[in-house]
Amino acid sequence: MHKNKKTCFLALVVGILFMITGCWDNRDVTKLNFITALGLDKTPEGSIELTVELPRPSLMGKGQVGGGGQESKEKPITIVSAQGETVLAAARNLLEKLEKPVILSKHELLLVSEELAKSGLMEVLDFFERKPESNMTSQVLIVKGSPIKKIMETESEQEKIPSIHIANCITTNQNRLGSSKESRIIDLLREISNSGQDPLIPTIEISQEKEELKVKDMLISGTAAFRGDRLAGYLTATQTRGWLLAENKAKGSVFTVANPLVKDQKVSFETYRTIGKKEVELIDGQPRLIVQLKVSGSIGESQGGLDLTQPDQLALLQAEIEKTIKEEVESTISTVQEYQTDIFGFGEIMRRKYRSEWQKMKDDWPELFSKASYQIEVETRINRSGYIRQGTKSE
Amino acid sequence: MFSRLKKKFKYWQLMSKANQEKNSPPRKEKIPESTSELKEKLRQVFAECDDFRLREIIVGEKKFKLNIAFVDNLISRQAFNDNLLKPLMDPHLTALLPADNQDKIIAYLKENILNLAEIKEQTDFKESVQNILNGESVIYIEGSSTALVASIKGWEARTVQEPQTETVVRGPREGFVEDLGVNCALIRRKIRNPNLKMELRKIGQKTGTNICLCYLKGIADEELINEVKKRISQINIDAVLESGYLEEMIEDNPFTFFPLIGNSEKPDIVAGKILEGRVAIVCDGTPFALTVPYLFLETLQASEDYYTRSITSSILRILRLVSLFISLLLPGLYVAFLNFHQAALPLNFLLTIAASREGVPFSPFTEALFMGLTFEILQEAGIRMPRPIGQAISIVGALVIGEASVRAGLVSDPMVIVTAITAISTFILPPLQRMLPYFRLIFIILANILGLLGMVLGLIAIITHMCALRSFGVPYLTPFAPSSPLDMKDTLFRFPHWLMFTRPRALTWQETGRAKYRIDLASSIKNKTNLENRKKMKNDLAKNREG
């Protein structure tokens, strides 16, 4: 028996070793095209147009091909697109135009057009879910208004590959500003399959029409709220922040409020820690949505005099900030109630808390959610006032 | 295939054993008493040996004839003149030589006349010839079948120097030389203990090379000592020019890449191994002493680990293990990742590599083989070439590997870096340096066929092979497999000396006490009694005052 156990253990270890090595196929790196970004659009005829961004390694910088000091005028990326009935068909058609086969495992960005989003994301996402080599941590973006190809052909002055610039922008906007939200394929799929929570996907749009578009000419903020896999409506940047606060995902952002003492002057409050809590209560069979926020931060800037050593002035400011935050979250909730999409996942909380009631409510949840009353509690703490207590005053 | 070779090897072993039994110890040959007969015999033995000398002198009032035989340049002329000829030819000293009995003469010569440290009697002629060849002077006495052997060896030899192979920053700098006596003395100087046994043996029918078994009785396992003695007694070889000959004759598994017998050029390392319960075999004519049993762990250990602080040496040990894996796997990993697992690499890294590989006509596999081969050729050339043309090798090597192959677009930059890191890592582990290239090659081939899966298969095969290896009966991977928790104190981490209570269990179970804990119990008890004494004195003083 003891020997058997040992053999089993050994077999297990060896088996695991075999599995962790992953899938394989002998292909040389130089004989592959890496896709760094994909764009999916719907043509008026109803077929899918796939646009891919392919970096050209030899133009990526320190290759020995360039040799000399002068920068190559050629673009370091190529944009190719093809059409097909399905994503896979389009991808196959793409190969007609390429010298080397493509490899999907490195894409950082998946751009989806508004039309596709409206008709249902699963139409295209199934391909990524099914394909073993696809990068499930790639970010998804909804392109608002303009054709996908135009967005993908933009150039970046800071990054060789524009799609990486865009992907980084989303992350920064989420963490530093709270104006956008990262949405990865794997999370998206989970949210779509979950009846208690609807997905929220960041959007991108062209803010300035120009001949040669750069990434800086685009607005990478705001989000698109979905119902299931269908687009329901858009949220602005501030509304997105309201969602991030409630969702406990806001890492740091700046709230600018009116100075409570001096007219027409502003105070900026920099948050560095937010604890958001969501709760649902059933009162007489009607759900009541509760959002509790604890925000702490410091005064980043203050126009006009404000003596923060005075408790009463501090309290005034605190009340002002609380009001602003509360309004923001309220605006988010009321908007999504209008869209009838539960991006906060209140339904999920319901399912956990009121199991039997949820079974009955499940089917009309969007309706119930849109009519539900809500309550927002904000608690602010001003921990620091920066390097000084009081600004210099001219005498 | 190996098993067949093994069988054949066993057959050879058995044959040699049978032969040995056939040539059972040769019969003794008496030393002729008459001078003329003796001279005739010696002339026969040393015919055409122009370096053989026979000095005939006449001693004492009775005119004894003494023949002193020696080989020129193997003895010290100075000692020969001062300590042998001078007293023998001094009429004052030899005047009292007893006349009647040859035995008495020998005893008188030994006890009263010859002022030499080492002198012994020899009755066998063949042995006396061997003594002459060993560099001793043999004094044949007319009318006696006993000869005196005077040891006044003295030949040109290298002095004790810092060894070139095992250099250290901290630690003794002396190294073994080609002389067995000096080497034994160097070990003895480290371990001043009568339990350090040194057994001399003679191996090689033609060369008659002296070897010496060194071990600490009471610490080294008796079974191990017997096993070493048995294996050495079974050696049947005509020549032993270096300890490598012995190594091949006594190792457990002749068909493995792994070293199963350790060698060292430094007395402190050998002494350390002896103290751990190992047996050392010192061979005349080479500065490399062998130590058995040899465990894989020892390839990671360095003498300096024990001389510097335990924390830093522990970190260095881990570094050595890491570099072992680097030098074993890195080219294979490079091939595997570039050919199979591109998805596992970060995008930027991948693009950089792809950029530098653009235009290179060969696959990573061919590249890795080419660079590996080039490096091995350079290394071998570097060792073999005459010193003065060393510059040429380094210039050509740097140009070929570094510049030209990249410039020509034959090899990519990352491959040059991989080759360089691999090569440098190899040098951290001198004992494995010779075998690592072959394993590296196997891994490159496996990586090209199956990617990481192939490399995992290769690792499993190698580890299985290592588990099966034994060195003088001790499993090669102890204390990892079979695991011995107590012995882990000196593996990847070198514990402080005051925590190394026991000797390696795999080697010896005897007298395991090695260090006492730092807080010496005895001294703390002493302090306690001092305190009590002081209290007593205080009390006495108080009483006196009262009184």
Minimum distance, in Å, between the CA of residue B320 and any CA atom of chain A: 24
Minimum distance, in Å, between the CA of residue A167 and any CA atom of chain B: 13
Query: Is A166 within 8 Å of A215 (Cβ atoms)?
Result: yes
Instruction: Give the nearest chain A residue to B350 (CA atoms).
Output: A29
- Is A257 an interface residue toward B (CB < 8 Å)? no
The per-residue pLDDT for B1 is 57
Contact A34 B347 (CB under 8 A): yes
- Is A275 an interface residue toward B (CB < 8 Å)? no
Q: Who's near B430: CB < 8 A, 6+ residues apart?
A: B165, B166
- Share of residues in chain B with pLDDT > 70 (%): 93
Q: Who's near A76: CB < 8 A, 6+ residues apart?
A: A55, A56, A59, A60, A61, A160, A161
Contact B358 A55 (CB under 8 A): no
Q: In sequence order, what are the beta bridge partners of A193?
A: none
The per-residue pLDDT for A72 is 55
Which of A328, A112, A104 is CA-nearest to residue A202? A112
Length of chain A: 395
| Tens-digit pLDDT profile for residues A245-290 | 988 888 888 999 988 888 888 999 998 888 999 999 998 888 999 9
Q: Who's near B353: CB < 8 A, 6+ residues apart?
A: A29, B338, B345, B412, B414
- Name the strand (E) or helix (H) holding A381: strand A373-384
**Averaged pLDDT score across all residues of chain B:** 86
Please identify among residues 134-163 of chain A the ones whose CB lies closer than 8 Å to any CB of chain B.
135
Angstrom distances, CA of residue A385 to CA of A101, A114, A271, A381, A388: 57, 44, 12, 11, 6
Contact A34 B353 (CB under 8 A): no
Query: Is B512 within 8 Å of B502 (Cβ atoms)?
Result: yes
- CA B196/CA A22 separation, integer angstroms: 56
Edge-to-edge strands of the sheet including B262-264? B196-203, B209-216, B279-283, B289-292, B262-264
The per-residue pLDDT for A71 is 54
Q: What is the mean pLDDT of residues A223-231?
A: 92
Which of B444, B473, B472 is CA-nearest to residue B375? B444
| Tens-digit pLDDT profile for residues A121-142 | 998 999 999 988 888 999 999 9
- CA A109/CA A185 separation, integer angstroms: 10
Stretch among A215-224, B268-277, B278-287 having the lowest mean pLDDT: A215-224
Q: What is the mean pLDDT of residues B46-61?
A: 87
The per-residue pLDDT for B174 is 93
| Tens-digit pLDDT profile for residues A161-207 | 889 899 999 999 998 888 899 999 999 999 999 888 899 999 999 88
pLDDT surpassing 50 at residue A234: yes
Task: Choose between A211 and A323: higher pLDDT.
Answer: A323
Which of A197, A288, A176, A338 is CA-nearest to residue A241? A176
- CA A342/CA A225 separation, integer angstroms: 9
Q: Is B11 helix (H, G, I), strand (E, B) or coil?
A: helix
| Tens-digit pLDDT profile for residues A367-389 | 899 999 999 999 999 888 888 87
Which of B381, B357, B384, B379 is CA-nearest to residue B368? B357
- Alpha helices, H only, A143-271: 148-152, 162-172, 185-193, 237-246
Task: Choose between B62 and A332: higher pLDDT.
Answer: A332
- Share of residues in chain A with pLDDT > 70 (%): 94
| Tens-digit pLDDT profile for residues B478-489 | 888 888 888 888
CB neighbour class for B522 (10 Å; exposed up to 12, middle 13-18, buried from 19): exposed
Stretch among B130-144, B371-385, B494-508 having the lowest mean pLDDT: B494-508
- Is A57 an interface residue toward B (CB < 8 Å)? yes
**DSSP secondary structure string, B468-493?**
H-EETTEETTTTTTTT-GGGGGBTTS
Angstrom distances, CA of residue A122 to CA of A115, A135, A236, B226: 13, 16, 24, 77
| Tens-digit pLDDT profile for residues B81-102 | 888 888 888 888 877 777 777 7
Q: In sequence order, what are the beta bridge partners of A235?
A: A223
Type of residue at B2: F
pLDDT band at residue B25 using 50, 70 and 90 as cut-offs = low
| Token pair for A32 | 């592959």
The per-residue pLDDT for B528 is 61
CB atoms within 10 A of CB A115: 15
The per-residue pLDDT for A323 is 93
Please identify among residues 103-122 of chain A the ones whose CB lies closer than 8 Å to any CB of chain B.
103, 105-106, 108
| Token pair for A101 | 């086969």
The per-residue pLDDT for A21 is 60
- At A51, give phi and psi (nearest 5°): -115, 130
pLDDT surpassing 60 at residue A44: yes
The per-residue pLDDT for B486 is 81
pLDDT surpassing 90 at residue B330: yes
Largest Cα span, chain A: 91
Strands (E), B389-505: 470-471, 474-475
- Alpha helices, H only, B242-362: 243-250, 267-275, 310-339, 347-357
- Is A34 an interface residue toward B (CB < 8 Å)? yes
pLDDT band at residue A65 using 50, 70 and 90 as cut-offs = very low
- Is A60 an interface residue toward B (CB < 8 Å)? yes
Which of B338, B415, B446 is CA-nearest to residue A27? B338
CB atoms within 10 A of CB B189: 11
Buried b or exposed e, range B350-378, using 16+ CB within 10 angstroms = bbbbbbbbbebebbbbebbbbbbebbeeb
Task: Choose between B1 and A241: higher pLDDT.
Answer: A241
Planar angle of CA B308, B311, B316, nearest 5 degrees: 75
| Token pair for B135 | 């560099």
The per-residue pLDDT for A235 is 93
| Tens-digit pLDDT profile for residues B376-392 | 988 888 888 888 887 88
Contact A63 B358 (CB under 8 A): yes
The per-residue pLDDT for B522 is 47
- Is A16 an interface residue toward B (CB < 8 Å)? no
| Token pair for B30 | 């008496």
- CA A97/CA A104 separation, integer angstroms: 17
Query: Is A253 within 8 Å of A241 (Cβ atoms)?
Result: yes
Measure CA B327 to chain center.
25
Strands B279-283 and B209-216: antiparallel
Type of residue at B322: V
Instruction: Give the nearest chain B residue to A30 (CA atoms).
Output: B354
- At A311, give phi and psi (nearest 5°): -60, -35
Contact B343 A57 (CB under 8 A): no
Q: Which residues of A touch B413 (CB under 8 A)?
A: 64
Contact A21 B360 (CB under 8 A): no
Planar angle of CA B274, B275, B278, nearest 5 degrees: 40
pLDDT band at residue A22 using 50, 70 and 90 as cut-offs = low
Helix axes B364-384, B310-339, angle to 10 degrees: 140
- CA B111/CA B101 separation, integer angstroms: 15
pLDDT band at residue A69 using 50, 70 and 90 as cut-offs = very low
Tokens 């990486």 belong to A164
- CA B415/CA A201 separation, integer angstroms: 42
CB neighbour class for B394 (10 Å; exposed up to 12, middle 13-18, buried from 19): exposed
| Tens-digit pLDDT profile for residues B340-363 | 888 888 888 888 888 888 888 888
**Averaged pLDDT score across all residues of chain A:** 87
Query: Is B274 within 8 Å of B280 (Cβ atoms)?
Result: yes
- Is A35 an interface residue toward B (CB < 8 Å)? no
Which of B127, B124, B89 is CA-nearest to residue B109? B89
Which of B140, B129, B168, B230 is CA-nearest to residue B473? B230
Strands (E), A114-221: 139-143, 200-206, 218-219
The per-residue pLDDT for A68 is 44
Type of residue at B506: A
Length of chain B: 547
CB neighbour class for B467 (10 Å; exposed up to 12, middle 13-18, buried from 19): middle
Q: Count how many Cα atoms sit within 13 Å of the Cα of residue B473 in the half-sphere of its side chain.
A: 13
| Tens-digit pLDDT profile for residues A279-335 | 999 988 889 999 999 999 998 888 887 788 888 888 999 999 999 999 999 999 999
pLDDT surpassing 80 at residue B23: no
